[in-house]
């Protein structure tokens, strides 16, 4: 069974505990700028929305990588193999959601890998805005449908 993160923005209070937990797990520092999950602040609407990699079935980042540094992990997450990544950033351009980022201090890209199947962001979220559930219950197919639609609208070279 594939599992994925389910995000319910209406439950998000903007506490940033998800960002702190992620940055500590992945970088050993409580630093939201180093997190693989981000909380976007819609000031005008008074809403906070967490977002991270959706682990697309046909991952554009993975297909774009010229050195095959993004591989399918055991959890179904698309994982960056650090020793293979050359830091070219092509995957960051390919991702339509902007959820893969370049880590300048390491010289490689970073993205959510679902913490090996035990995502820290979900465990740290005090309101249940982020949960780790069976992918069939998440709206993952809706996200994939949107990604497919966006791809179809792109001009062909």
pLDDT digit string, tens, across residues 87-118: 999 999 999 999 999 999 999 999 999 999 99
- CATH code at 3-147: 3.30.70.20
Q: Which residue has the tokens 């339509």?
A: 96
Question: Is the confidence at residue 130, as pLDDT, over 70?
Answer: yes
Q: Which two tokens stand for residue 26?
A: 């992945």
Percent helix / strand / coil, the chain, rounded to 5 = 35, 20, 45
Whether the per-residue pLDDT at 146 is higher than 90: the answer is: no
51 has which bridge partners? 38
The domain locations on the chain are 3-147
- Convert the pLDDT of each residue in 21-43 to its tens digit: 999 999 999 999 999 999 999 98
Q: What is the pLDDT, as a whole number, of residue 140? A: 58
H or E element: which one contains 21? helix 17-27
pLDDT for 45: 87
Contacts of 67 (CB under 8 A, 6+ apart): 84, 85, 86, 88
What lies within 8 Å, CB to CB, of 44 at 6+ separation is none
User: Region 106-135: what's the mean pLDDT?
Assistant: 95
| Residue 136 pLDDT > 70 | no
Q: Are 94 and 64 in contact (CB under 8 A)?
A: yes
Q: For residue 57, what pLDDT is reported?
A: 87
Higher pLDDT, 127 or 143: 127
Rounded to two decimals, what is the model's pTM? 0.81
Q: Tens digits of per-residue pLDDT, 29-86?
A: 999 999 999 999 998 888 999 999 999 888 999 999 999 999 999 999 999 999 999 9
């Amino acid at each position: 069974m594939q599992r994925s993160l389910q995000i319910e923005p209406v439950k998000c209070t903007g506490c940033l505990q998800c960002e702190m937990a992620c940055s500590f797990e992945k970088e050993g520092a409580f630093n939201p700028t180093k997190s693989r999950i981000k909380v976007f602040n819609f000031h005008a609407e008074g809403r906070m929305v967490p977002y991270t990699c959706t682990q697309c079935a046909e991952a554009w980042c993975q297909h774009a990588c010229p050195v095959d540094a993004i591989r399918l992990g055991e959890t179904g997450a698309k994982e960056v193999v650090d020793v293979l990544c050359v830091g070219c950033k092509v995957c960051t351009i390919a991702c339509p959601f902007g959820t893969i980022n370049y880590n300048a201090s390491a010289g490689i890209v970073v993205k959510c890998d679902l913490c090996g199947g035990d995502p820290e962001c979900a465990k740290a979220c005090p309101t249940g805005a982020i949960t780790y559930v069976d992918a069939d219950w998440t709206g993952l197919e809706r996200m994939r449908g949107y990604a497919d639609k966006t791809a179809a609208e792109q001009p062909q070279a």
